């Protein structure tokens, strides 16, 4: 990647006085659930409303998302609240549907970022798009594989790019659901200082009690933003119940975080 300065134009253009915030439920469950959360988040620092509609689950038989239907709900979020929207895409068909339905930002999940063939398929499907595309780190701690996926998108003339650090799978006992291995994120920043880097404390921690501390660590490390799963009834969420926070709690977290932005 050569002209890396242009990679952060989309973020600079937003002229934010706080880190970029992406929030919303892990999964879109029902139209009512999506709209209720969106309305509760609309008067906050949230820049993009997230909701997963295609959910790659580890084991079969779990809730795998509402699919295409959720795109209509995201449209309603935009119409009713004015918030921009985002969702996870995991193949070329998802990309086409999300673009055709006006989703503003797409992210590629950790189970997809691990596969070069699928990353290439997605890059081809999104070729030349001016949508913002964020790539989560692959589930395994492999910086080259993460960067390789991003390079495939860059080579497909997708320039509104960024990365999401969501921690790495481990078989060791850990207080984290996915260990942060912060040194990998730091190495990432050293290699591509202009590529926006967002932290996803929800999937790193796996529990709502640690969200604040991990978010603060990310901001202290000069991350550009946070993606935090938010649900009005976290305990009864259809996926990732233990790690979601309520909209009220999210606003509190945003207020309490010390926001330090390095100036140069
Ligand atoms: C998600 O954001 O809900 C998700 C499935 O994340 P990840 O790809 O990081 O596991
Ligand atoms: Mn989730």
| Ligand 1 pocket, residue 136 CB under 6 Å | yes
Domain boundaries, the chain: 4-22+86-253
pLDDT tens per residue, the chain (264 residues)? 877 788 899 999 999 999 999 999 999 999 999 999 999 999 999 999 999 999 998 889 999 999 999 999 999 999 999 999 999 999 999 999 999 999 999 999 999 999 999 999 999 999 999 999 999 999 999 999 999 999 999 999 999 999 999 999 999 999 999 999 999 999 999 999 999 999 999 999 999 999 999 999 999 999 999 999 999 999 999 999 999 999 999 999 999 999 966 554
- What is the model's pLDDT at position 26? 98
- How far does residue 26's CA lie from ligand 2's centre (Å)? 4
Task: Given the cut 0.90, state whether the ipTM is greater than it.
Answer: yes
| Ligand 1 pocket, residue 135 CB under 6 Å | no
- What is the model's pLDDT at position 261? 61
Helix (H) or strand (E) holding 146: helix 143-155
Across 7-38, b (16+ Cβ under 10 Å) vs e yields: bbebbeeeeeeebbbbbbbbbbbeeebbebbb
- What is the model's pLDDT at position 58? 86
Instruction: Take atom 1 of ligand 1 and give the residue whose Cα is closest.
Output: 26
- What is the model's pLDDT at position 260? 66
Closest listed ligand to the CA of 178: 1
User: Can you tell me which atom of ligand 1 is nearest the CA of 107?
Assistant: 2
- What is the model's pLDDT at position 263? 53
* Architecture in CATH of 4-22+86-253: Alpha-Beta Barrel (3.20)
- What is the model's pLDDT at position 153? 98
The SS3 assignment for 133 reads strand
- What is the model's pLDDT at position 262? 57
What DSSP string describes 42-67? TTSS--EEE-BSS---SSTTS----T
Closest listed ligand to the CA of 87: 1
β-bridge partners, 86: 50, 105
């Amino acid at each position: 990647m050569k002209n890396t300065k242009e990679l952060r134009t989309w973020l600079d253009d937003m002229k934010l006085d706080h880190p970029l915030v992406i929030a919303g439920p892990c999964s879109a469950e029902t139209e009512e659930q999506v709209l209720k959360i969106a309305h509760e988040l609309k008067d906050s620092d949230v820049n993009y409303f997230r909701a997963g509609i295609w959910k790659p689950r580890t084991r079969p038989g779990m809730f795998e998302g509402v699919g295409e239907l959720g795109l209509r709900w995201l449209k309603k979020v935009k119409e009713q609240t004015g918030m921009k929207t985002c969702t996870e895409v995991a193949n070329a068909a998802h990309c086409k549907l999300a673009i055709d339905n006006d989703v503003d930002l797409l992210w590629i999940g950790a189970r997809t970022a691990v596969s070069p063939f699928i990353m290439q398929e997605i890059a081809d499907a999104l070729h030349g798009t001016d949508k913002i595309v964020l790539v989560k780190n692959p589930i395994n701690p492999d910086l080259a594989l993460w960067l390789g996926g991003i390079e495939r998108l860059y080579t497909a003339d997708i320039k509104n790019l960024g990365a999401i650090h969501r921690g790495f799978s481990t078989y060791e006992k850990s207080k984290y659901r996915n260990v942060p291995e912060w040194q990998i994120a730091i190495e990432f920043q050293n290699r591509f200082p202009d590529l926006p880097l967002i932290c996803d404390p929800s999937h790193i921690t796996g529990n709502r009690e640690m969200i604040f501390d991990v978010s603060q660590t990310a901001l202290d490390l000069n991350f550009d933003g946070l993606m935090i799963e938010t649900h009005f009834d976290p305990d009864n969420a259809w996926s990732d119940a233990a790690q979601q926070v309520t909209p009220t709690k999210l606003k509190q977290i945003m207020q309490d975080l010390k926001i330090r932005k390095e100036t140069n």
